[in-house]
Amino acid sequence: MIDEILMEAEEKMEKALDSLHYEMARVRTGRANPNMLDPVRVDYYGAKTPINQLAGISTPEANQLLIKPYDKNVVKEVEKAILAANLGVTPNNEGDQIRIVLPKLNEERRQELVRQVKKYAEDARVKIRNARREANDKIKKAEKSGDISEDDSNRFQDDVQELTDKYTGEVDEQVTDKETELTEV
């Protein structure tokens, strides 16, 4: 029973970390990253399809993305989808492919992105702390019902705190890495 509580808490913390990782990948730095196109969905014969399933995405230069659709008939649709996704970039249609040139970030934009990253990190920390609280509540409930002793309850709560510390440490590490990447000129 306690193992299930710990596994459930760890699973929720892992999901919070995955969510943070996804959000961090979408934050545009000065470098081109194909992950920034993950939210783009192209209307492909009536179905909303992720762009990475319709096209090859490469980075020919550090500040460029090159999108080569497998089906040349959807180039216009891909261009429309990128504009509609509101990524802050302008796609250049070159006939059979689309090129996105990422402009250099100014200092004000860099600071804005750092604040955004910190907000994502705080959201992840809140999710982790909520998972800790839920697990501790279940452990205390098990103690009150007599399923486990007070000593076991304290030990399991310490285990939950160790998990919490581990995952918040990983959040802090991701934030530090992203901040460094953003403030690098």
Quick: pLDDT tens for 2-50.
889 889 999 999 999 999 988 887 776 667 778 788 888 998 888 898 9
pLDDT in tens, 55-90: 999 988 888 889 999 988 888 998 888 888 877 788
pLDDT at 165: 95
Cα separations in angstroms, 173 against 19, 118, 177: 15, 12, 6
> Both tokens of residue 115?
């604040």
Q: Final residue of a domain: which of 56, 76, 101? A: 101
Indicate if 151 and 171 belong to the same structural domain.
Answer: yes
- CATH number of residue 152's parent domain: 1.10.132.20
3-state secondary structure the chain: CHHHHHHHHHHHHHHHHHHHHHHHHHCCCCCCCHHHHCCCEEEECCEEEEHHHHEEEECCCCCEEEEEECCHHHHHHHHHHHHHCCCCCCEEECCCCEEEECCCCCHHHHHHHHHHHHHHHHHHHHHHHHHHHHHHHHHHHHHHCCCCCHHHHHHHHHHHHHHHHHHHHHHHHHHHHHHHHHHCC
Rounded CA separation 59/56 (Å):
10
Residue-number span of the structural domain to which 50 is assigned: 34-101
Indicate if 118 and 173 belong to the same structural domain.
Answer: yes
Indicate if 86 and 117 belong to the same structural domain.
Answer: no
Confidence of residue 185 (pLDDT cuts 50, 70, 90): low
Give Cα 159 to chain centroid, integer Å.
26
Q: What is the pTM of this model?
A: 0.72
Indicate if 175 and 113 belong to the same structural domain.
Answer: yes
Indicate if 78 and 167 belong to the same structural domain.
Answer: no
Total domains present in the chain = 2
Q: Final residue of a domain: which of 85, 101, 117? A: 101
Indicate if 113 and 177 belong to the same structural domain.
Answer: yes
Indicate if 143 and 175 belong to the same structural domain.
Answer: yes
- CATH number of residue 72's parent domain: 3.30.1360.40
> Both tokens of residue 76?
């216009």
Indicate if 95 and 150 belong to the same structural domain.
Answer: no
Indicate if 13 and 76 belong to the same structural domain.
Answer: no
pLDDT in tens, 132-150: 999 999 999 988 988 888 8
Indicate if 123 and 145 belong to the same structural domain.
Answer: yes
Indicate if 83 and 172 belong to the same structural domain.
Answer: no
Q: What is the mean pLDDT of the chain?
A: 88
Indicate if 166 and 130 belong to the same structural domain.
Answer: yes
pLDDT at 83: 87
